[in-house]
Structure 1
């Protein structure tokens, strides 16, 4: 029997829109809003954000 996919459990399908990430000179990853250019968050463990596209150098 067919069943519907689980919805509403926080699973993301595809990349996050209107955001990008880049690596700072210190090696941390920062998330930037593509519309305003403001830095939204910095990840302190040194791993990149999941599902957020990377900026080209």
Structure 2
């Protein structure tokens, strides 16, 4: 996983490994995908997840 020092400053150093996100074109929400390809989570708003690479 990504490192976060110093604690509590609200930013991440580096990307989250083994995860990606894809945009659902019907709802325009972003869905997080795990390392095994299964969907993990979907955002409630239209903003993408922070620190996770985007699929095309």
TM-score range, shorter chain: 0.7 to 0.9
What TM-score, normalized to structure 1? 0.75
Q: Give the TM-score normalised by the residue count of structure 2.
A: 0.76
Q: CA deviation at 1:36?
A: 1.0
2:29 matched to 1:28?
yes
Count of residue pairs brought into register by the alignment: 50
> Greater CA radius of gyration, 1 or 2?
1
What corresponds to 1:9 in structure 2? 7
- Segments of 4+ moved more than 2 angstroms: none
User: Where do 5+ consecutive residues of structure 2 fail to align?
Assistant: none
